[in-house]
């Protein structure tokens, strides 16, 4: 059959040949323009689908020749700056005269700016969903290491909080508040249409989420063209369950046809740690500790500890008589260099962009070092008009030398009278680092856990190395029409691999051991590695029919995606290695831990999405996604998530321009949609049997969990009402979004179960409903002021979100709420129906009792009215039958602690003569009333000054960091604030007395709950770009210079180091004195030629 076809085909060819040119003929010709021969013009033979089958280039005299492949093909001659000429092969010799393209009559370009993203390409003014896009050109030249840093304060409703200032630790993001009780609330990140995710589900890494977001680092900001944030369900619908927390779409730069451009940029940044609490020096510390030991028992014996007593006869005297500022010892100015080189260009058949970056960074804490190499190759190859092949390969290599321990937190607590180095009897430093001896006085043994931070930085190691490679292959096929004037059907097939390898190596030398030879942490080395491979295959069909009546526009998309992947990990820990240089797990040692892990994941979905517009005024979008999950049993496996939204471009109505001429754009966008969410664990619908410890040497097996047959998708229904507006010819643009989110079948992890079932909990259950209501506001001014060379831009966003649980099973609520444990330092959190999460409960702090003994009139130094006695509602002292006052106690009947002078006063809210759980009251909410940011940009000639602020308002933070440095309860160093502590009867102060391991002076109270409102100058930057006219002489096309400062100042009443603290569970915010965000200054230069 095939042979026959060929025969017939050849026969027809033969017939045609008889009357015209035939394959194999030499085609030749000359190309000229009005000035003479055109050298290096492209001459190609194109087949029916515009594929190049033969090509030639004109020589010095403009001549060309090549062998004809098929006489039915066309001849095409192109040259930069000239109109393209296309001719049929009706002769063998051609004389072609090229005409300059500039001679063309002006053509009105009607193409509109299309939304960039992974869904349908829709003109921006037709988008009916809530999304906000920022072009990276706005940040060009800023000293951002991460994308999230750039987004901070720019996207309304996106609350970004840095996890900590440590190198590579990432941020935590909340889009439109918290809409889930368990599981990740982080938005989905999509890079060039691919979900940016390395599956770290079953890894031993401490926190998968933090990791995942830290990986955002791996997209070099220089590679990014634009970032869009999809907010409502209608916008995220095509991402289905993955996008239920919102989607951040990142589009990277691609090459463009034209001359090859080379861009090089260099940034040099200096970073330093802001000042936190000022800590006591050695002398103040020892005095405090002596009081701390004396007060509980009122005995000098208890406070006679040689390490605190400065007795020269004490053998370690020199090591305990210092004033070491540990904070100063571990802080430094960190330096960061970012080099980035990009090549981009393209020709007839291909466009390319190659970017390579190298970062070298030293931390603001000593001995931290990060090296990162990133490269991204984007290649577009045009096989023909119909077929395009894209290849993108991104590689990131990161080597992060971290500290083996949190130096800063050690520096805050370590005894300041200790020396860094061993000292001789004259107090001179020797070469060896000094580690506290295991023989230290028993009372101070807990300090053994805080190793000498300077020694830790220099002798121990903790290295993390990762490789991330993501090759992507894409085939784009235009099956029908090629342009807007025809009905189009486009197919796109895509395969993405995500390869992620990670290695962690840690070493802790014996010399740092404070526990003696049996310490299993001495000469300990551990290494762990993990690798994962994910493969995602996506097929997309886009159909855009062409209507005769061009008022109608319709386009639709059908997409299917399959993802599968697996990962394995292993770890080994050895201790007792021979001291010296050995720090490899290959050496002989005592194995203390060894393990392997593996996991796999799969998912599948189908999406249908359609967009219809009439006259560019009335738009409607519909989409539905069908999500398949491995996490549910067969009955609940598939979830369907529809979305519908419409848009009315009011300003395009013919009557509008006359009525409101100053309004250049106005549109209204109501939308509705449902997205789903799946639990964060696999294999839930199985009952798993696990090996136990065994009995009498025989193996034992036990059922490990209850099968979850009823578990289903958590659904979030969103109603969104958006409005876009533009005034004064779009010099001011903006939008307002109102939304109502109703989450049903809330997924809750480890839902408490009566243990009479044999299990303490169900691993997941759908437990209730939640509501989120909020609004967002975003305003941009483009050249709002323009006087001569001077112009100014601005942007403002702010947002508010309120959430509450609207229904939940009683027992489930009860099990979420913890009991008061009668311990210092603990706060209660409550989840209640119809009230917001993030509420903080605790005692009300009322200062410090001045006297132990009560007397109505103060007897200085002896007694006074401010003493711990029971009072009634009117504040009058209650007397017993004998006319004696009654002492104020803590938890009468169980703990029975009697308050004394110098102890904290807590309000006895119910006047029952004791402080107990009934005196706990609401102290505020961790959720901010507003979040947002604003910025302005001033241009003067070639100078630009760019400033961006972000702020949060009305949130409370539990300042655990301050609690820890003011509690005077342990051997840890304290802040200088405690110098104002109560010392003798009659002292008037706000700081209670020092009491080691006794008393209730730091119960969870409003003393440590602080207002976390702030305004931060996120960055300010002054840049200058050199006039291109001058540059031309140097052969350059661009040269710009800039200096900028990040985190320059922060206006806040918050007393901690940084009011930007991530959310903990149940929306409560604890400041645990994480490394605050460093401040930095940057200078940079960008050159292009």
Partner 1 sequence: MSLAKGLLGAAFFLLPSSFFVSCSDFLEIEPMNEVVLENFWTEKADVASVVNGCYEVLESPDCIQRMGVWGELRSDNIWVGSNVPNDINELLKENLLSSNSYCNWSKFYDCINRCNTVIHYAPEVQQIDPNYSEEEMRANIAEVTTLRALCYFYLIRTFRDVPYVTEPSIDDTQDYVVAATPFDQVLDALIADLERIKGDAVRRYEVERYEGNVVYLSEKNSSRITRWTVYTLLADLYLWKGDWDNCIKCCDAVLAYKREQYEEMLKRVGTFGNLALFHGIPLILEKTAGSTTCGNAYTEIFGSGNSFESIFELYFRTNQTQKNTWVANFYGDSRNTMGSLSAASFLAKDASSGKNEVFKKTDSRVYESTQGSNSNYAISKYTRTSVSFTISTSMSKDEDLKLSSTRRTTDYANWILYRMSDVILMKAEAMIEKGTDFDGAFHLINTINKRANDITTTSRSDSLKLADYNTSKANMEELLLAERQREFLFEGKRWFDLVRFARRDGNNTRLISLATRKYIENVNAIKIKLADPNIVYFPYAKSELKVNPLLKQNPAYGNEEDSQLTK
d(CA 707, CA 842): 39
| Minimum CB distance to partner 1, residue 756 (Å) | 4
Task: Scan residues 394-413 and list those touching partner 1 (CB under 8 A).
Answer: none
Contact track, partner 1, 48-67, x by CB under 8 A: xx------------------
Using CB under 8 A, count the residues that bind partner 1. 83
Q: Is 635 strand, coil or helix?
A: coil
| Minimum CB distance to partner 1, residue 698 (Å) | 5
Task: Scan residues 463-482 and list those touching partner 1 (CB under 8 A).
Answer: 477, 479-480
| Minimum CB distance to partner 1, residue 201 (Å) | 12
- Burial pattern 323-334, b for ≥16 Cβ within 10 A else e, equals ebebbebbbbeb
Which is nearer to partner 1, 731 or 830 (by Cβ)? 830
d(CA 273, CA 1056): 13
d(CA 1011, CA 1055): 9
Q: Which listed residue (21, 245, 536, 599) binds partner 1 by CB under 8 A?
A: 599
- Residue 1006 — φ and ψ, nearest 5°? -70, -5
Tokens 């063998």 correspond to what residue?
92
Which is nearer to partner 1, 104 or 517 (by Cβ)? 517
Q: Which listed residue (70, 664, 707, 1088) binds partner 1 by CB under 8 A?
A: 707
Q: Residue 921, interface with partner 1 (CB under 8 A)?
A: yes
Give the interface segment with partner 1, choosing from 56-64, 610-618, 705-713, 1000-1008 (CB under 8 A): 705-713
Q: Residue 516, interface with partner 1 (CB under 8 A)?
A: no
| Minimum CB distance to partner 1, residue 829 (Å) | 10
Which is nearer to partner 1, 26 or 921 (by Cβ)? 921
Tokens in use for 546?
Answer: 């062409």
Which is nearer to partner 1, 642 or 752 (by Cβ)? 752
Tokens 């009333």 correspond to what residue?
929
Which is nearer to partner 1, 559 or 900 (by Cβ)? 559
Q: Which listed residue (207, 872, 917, 1034) binds partner 1 by CB under 8 A?
A: 917
| DSSP assignment string, 738-758 | EEEEEEES-EEEEEE--GGGS
Which is nearer to partner 1, 506 or 569 (by Cβ)? 569
Beta-carbon contacts of residue 1055 (< 8 Å; ≥ 6 apart): 959, 962, 1010
Q: Which listed residue (687, 979, 997, 1065) binds partner 1 by CB under 8 A?
A: 687
| Minimum CB distance to partner 1, residue 809 (Å) | 9
Contact track, partner 1, 604-643, x by CB under 8 A: x-----------------------xxx---x--x------
| Paired sense of beta strands 863-864 and 853-854, if any | parallel
Which is nearer to partner 1, 387 or 779 (by Cβ)? 387
CA dihedral 725, 731, 732, 733 (to 10 degrees): 40
d(CA 596, CA 768): 37
| Minimum CB distance to partner 1, residue 985 (Å) | 30
- Give the H or E element holding residue 455: helix 453-459
Task: Scan residues 738-777 and list those touching partner 1 (CB under 8 A).
Answer: 752-760, 762, 765
Q: Which listed residue (207, 598, 729, 997) binds partner 1 by CB under 8 A?
A: 598
Q: Residue 918, interface with partner 1 (CB under 8 A)?
A: yes
- What is the Cα Rg of the chain in Å? 35
Q: Which listed residue (347, 545, 560, 1064) binds partner 1 by CB under 8 A?
A: 560
458 closest CA partner among 410, 512, 500, 504: 512
d(CA 456, CA 464): 17
- Burial pattern 947-975, b for ≥16 Cβ within 10 A else e, equals bbbbbbbebbbbbbbbbbbbbbbebbbbb
Which is nearer to partner 1, 34 or 819 (by Cβ)? 819
d(CA 1055, CA 977): 11
Considering Cα of 514, then 517, then 523, then 525, what sign does the dihedral take?
A: negative
Q: Which listed residue (43, 160, 410, 920) binds partner 1 by CB under 8 A?
A: 920
Q: Which listed residue (841, 949, 982, 1070) binds partner 1 by CB under 8 A?
A: 841
| Minimum CB distance to partner 1, residue 665 (Å) | 39
Q: Residue 446, interface with partner 1 (CB under 8 A)?
A: no
Q: Residue 819, interface with partner 1 (CB under 8 A)?
A: yes
Tokens in use for 28?
Answer: 């030749």
- Residue 203 — φ and ψ, nearest 5°? -80, 165
Task: Scan residues 653-682 and list those touching partner 1 (CB under 8 A).
Answer: 682
Contact track, partner 1, 873-912, x by CB under 8 A: ---------------------x--------------x---
Q: Which listed residue (24, 703, 941, 1028) binds partner 1 by CB under 8 A?
A: 703
Which is nearer to partner 1, 92 or 600 (by Cβ)? 600
Task: Scan residues 989-1008 and list those touching partner 1 (CB under 8 A).
Answer: none
Q: Residue 708, interface with partner 1 (CB under 8 A)?
A: yes
d(CA 971, CA 951): 37
Which is nearer to partner 1, 484 or 912 (by Cβ)? 912
Q: Are 599 and 199 in contact (CB under 8 A)?
A: yes
What number of CA atoms fall less than 13 Å from residue 837's CA on the CB side?
Answer: 24
Which is nearer to partner 1, 730 or 912 (by Cβ)? 912
Which is nearer to partner 1, 237 or 711 (by Cβ)? 711
- Residue 211 — φ and ψ, nearest 5°? -60, -50
Our measurement of the distance from residue 1009's CA atom to the centroid of its chain's CA atoms, rounded to an integer in Å, reads 26
Give the interface segment with partner 1, choosing from 256-264, 311-319, 509-517, 833-841 (CB under 8 A): 833-841
Which is nearer to partner 1, 646 or 998 (by Cβ)? 998
Q: Which listed residue (444, 620, 668, 706) binds partner 1 by CB under 8 A?
A: 706
673 closest CA partner among 176, 124, 129: 129
Which is nearer to partner 1, 525 or 678 (by Cβ)? 678
Which is nearer to partner 1, 513 or 839 (by Cβ)? 839
Q: Residue 927, interface with partner 1 (CB under 8 A)?
A: no
- Give the H or E element holding residue 214: helix 208-214
- Burial pattern 173-186, b for ≥16 Cβ within 10 A else e, equals bbbbbbbbbbbbbb
Q: Which listed residue (260, 337, 710, 997) binds partner 1 by CB under 8 A?
A: 710
Contact track, partner 1, 489-508, x by CB under 8 A: --x-x---------------
Q: Are 231 and 132 in contact (CB under 8 A)?
A: yes
Contact track, partner 1, 76-105, x by CB under 8 A: ------------------------------
Which is nearer to partner 1, 277 or 827 (by Cβ)? 827
Task: Scan residues 340-399 and list those touching partner 1 (CB under 8 A).
Answer: 386
Q: Which listed residue (97, 700, 826, 997) binds partner 1 by CB under 8 A?
A: 700
Q: Are 685 and 142 in contact (CB under 8 A)?
A: no
What number of CA atoms fall less than 13 Å from residue 1076's CA on the CB side?
Answer: 20
d(CA 241, CA 561): 13
Q: Is 205 strand, coil or helix?
A: coil
Q: Which listed residue (258, 516, 578, 692) binds partner 1 by CB under 8 A?
A: 692
Q: Is 831 strand, coil or helix?
A: coil
- Burial pattern 143-153, b for ≥16 Cβ within 10 A else e, equals bbbbbbbbbbb
Q: Are 520 and 87 in contact (CB under 8 A)?
A: no
């Amino acid at each position: 059959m095939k042979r026959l076809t060929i025969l017939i085909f050849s026969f027809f060819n033969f017939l045609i040949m008889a009357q015209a040119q035939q394959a194999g003929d030499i085609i030749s010709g000359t190309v000229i323009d009005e000035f003479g021969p055109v050298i290096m013009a492209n001459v190609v033979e194109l087949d029916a689908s515009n594929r190049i089958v033969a090509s030639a280039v004109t020589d010095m005299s403009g001549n060309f020749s090549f062998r004809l492949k098929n006489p039915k093909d066309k001849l095409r001659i192109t040259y930069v700056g000239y109109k393209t000429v296309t001719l049929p092969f009706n002769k063998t010799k051609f004389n072609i005269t090229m005409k300059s393209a500039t001679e063309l009559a002006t053509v009105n370009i009607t193409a509109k700016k299309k939304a960039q993203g992974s869904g349908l390409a829709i003109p921006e003014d037709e988008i009916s969903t809530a999304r906000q896009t920022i072009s990276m050109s706005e940040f060009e030249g800023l000293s951002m290491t991460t994308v999230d840093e750039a987004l901070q304060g720019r996207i309304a409703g996106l609350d970004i909080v840095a996890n900590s200032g440590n190198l590579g630790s990432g941020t935590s993001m909340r889009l439109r508040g918290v809409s889930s009780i368990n599981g990740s609330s982080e938005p989905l990140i999509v890079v060039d249409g691919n979900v940016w995710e390395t599956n770290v589900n079953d890894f031993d890494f401490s926190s998968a989420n933090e990791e995942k977001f830290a990986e955002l680092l791996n997209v070099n900001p220089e590679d990014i063209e634009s970032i869009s944030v999809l907010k409502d369900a209608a916008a995220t619908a095509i991402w289905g369950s993955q996008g239920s927390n919102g989607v951040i779409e990142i589009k990277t730069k691609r090459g463009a046809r034209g001359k090859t451009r080379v861009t090089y940029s260099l940034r040099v940044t200096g970073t330093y740690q802001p000042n936190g609490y000022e800590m006591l020096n050695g002398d103040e510390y020892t005095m405090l500790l002596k009081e701390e030991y004396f007060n509980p028992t009122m005995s000098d014996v208890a406070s006679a500890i040689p390490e605190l007593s400065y007795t020269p006869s004490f053998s370690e005297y020199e090591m305990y008589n210092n004033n070491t500022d540990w904070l100063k010892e571990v802080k430094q100015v960190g330096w960061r260099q970012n080099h980035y080189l990009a090549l981009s260009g393209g020709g007839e058949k291909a466009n390319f962009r190659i970017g390579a970056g190298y970062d070298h960074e030293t931390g603001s804490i000593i001995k931290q070092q990060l090296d990162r190499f990133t490269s991204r190759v984007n290649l577009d190859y045009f096989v023909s008009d119909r077929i395009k092949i894209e290849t993108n390969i991104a590689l990131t290599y990161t080597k992060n030398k971290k500290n083996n321990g949190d130096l800063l937190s050690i520096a805050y607590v370590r005894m300041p009278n200790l020396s860094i180095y061993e000292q001789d009897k004259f107090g001179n430093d020797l070469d060896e680092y000094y580690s506290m001896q295991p023989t230290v006085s028993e009372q101070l043994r807990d300090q053994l856990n805080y190793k000498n931070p300077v020694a830790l930085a220099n002798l121990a190691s903790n290295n993390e190395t990762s490789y991330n490679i993501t090759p992507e292959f894409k085939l784009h096929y235009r099956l029908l029409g090629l342009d807007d004037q025809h009905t189009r059907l486009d197919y796109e097939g895509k395969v993405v691999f995500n390869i992620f390898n990670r290695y962690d190596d840690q070493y802790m030398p014996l010399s740092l051991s404070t526990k003696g030879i049996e310490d299993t942490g001495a000469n300990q080395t551990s290494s762990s590695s993990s690798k994962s491979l994910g493969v995602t295959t996506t097929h997309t069909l886009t159909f855009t029919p062409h209507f005769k009546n061009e008022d109608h526009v319709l386009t639709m998309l059908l997409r299917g995606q399959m993802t599968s992947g697996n990962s394995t990990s292993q770890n080994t820990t050895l201790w007792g290695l021979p001291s010296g240089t050995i720090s490899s797990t290959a050496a002989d040692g005592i194995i203390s831990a060894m393990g392997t892990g593996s996991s796999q994941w799969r998912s599948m979905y189908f999406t249908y999405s359609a967009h219809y517009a009439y006259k560019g005024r009335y738009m409607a979008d519909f989409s539905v996604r069908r999500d398949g999950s491995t996490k549910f049993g067969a009955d609940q496996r598939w979830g369907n998530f529809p979305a519908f939204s419409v848009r009315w471009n009011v300003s395009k109505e013919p009557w509008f321009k006359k009525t409101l001429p100053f309004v250049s754009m106005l549109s209204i966008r109501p939308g509705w949609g449902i997205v789903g969410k799946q639990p964060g664990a696999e294999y839930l619908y199985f009952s798993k049997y696990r090996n136990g410890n065994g009995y009498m040497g025989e193996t034992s097996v036990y059922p490990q969990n209850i099968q979850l047959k009823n578990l289903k998708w958590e659904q979030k229904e969103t109603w969104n009402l958006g409005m876009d507006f533009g005034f004064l010819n779009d010099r001011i643009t903006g939008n307002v979004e109102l939304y109502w989110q109703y989450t049903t079948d809330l997924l809750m992890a480890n839902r408490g179960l009566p243990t009479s079932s044999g299990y303490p909990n169900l691993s997941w259950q759908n437990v209730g409903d939640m509501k989120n209501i909020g609004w967002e506001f975003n305003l941009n001014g483009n050249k709002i002021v323009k006087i001569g060379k001077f112009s100014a831009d601005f942007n403002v966003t702010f947002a508010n979100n309120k959430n509450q649980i609207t229904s939940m099973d009683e027992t489930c609520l009860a099990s979420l709420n913890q009991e008061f444990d009668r311990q210092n330092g603990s706060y209660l959190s409550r989840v209640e129906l119809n009230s917001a999460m993030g509420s903080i409960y605790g005692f009300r702090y009322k200062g410090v009792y001045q006297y132990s003994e009560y007397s109505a009139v103060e007897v200085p130094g002896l007694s006074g009215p401010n003493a711990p006695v029971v009072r009634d509602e009117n504040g009058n002292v209650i007397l017993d039958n004998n006319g004696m006052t009654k002492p104020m106690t803590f938890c009468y009947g169980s703990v029975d602690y009697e308050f004394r002078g110098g102890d904290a006063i807590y309000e006895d809210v119910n006047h029952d003569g004791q402080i107990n759980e009934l005196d706990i009251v609401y102290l505020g909410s961790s959720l901010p009333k507003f979040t947002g940011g604003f910025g302005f940009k001033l241009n003067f000639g070639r100078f630009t000054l760019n400033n961006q602020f972000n702020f949060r308002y009305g949130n409370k933070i539990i300042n655990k960091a301050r609690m820890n440095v003011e509690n005077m309860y342990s051997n840890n160093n304290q802040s200088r604030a405690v110098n104002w502590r109560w010392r003798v009867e009659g002292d008037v102060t706000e700081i209670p007395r020092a009491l080691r391991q006794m008393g209730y002076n730091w119960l969870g109270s409003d003393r440590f709950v602080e207002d976390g409102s702030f305004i931060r100058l996120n960055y300010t930057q002054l840049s200058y770009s050199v006039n291109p006219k001058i540059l031309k002489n140097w052969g350059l096309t661009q040269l710009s210079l800039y200096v900028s400062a990040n985190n320059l100042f922060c206006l806040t009443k918050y007393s901690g180091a940084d009011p930007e603290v991530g959310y903990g569970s149940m929306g409560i915010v604890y400041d645990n004195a994480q490394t605050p965000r460093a401040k930095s200054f940057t200078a940079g230069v960008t050159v292009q030629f």
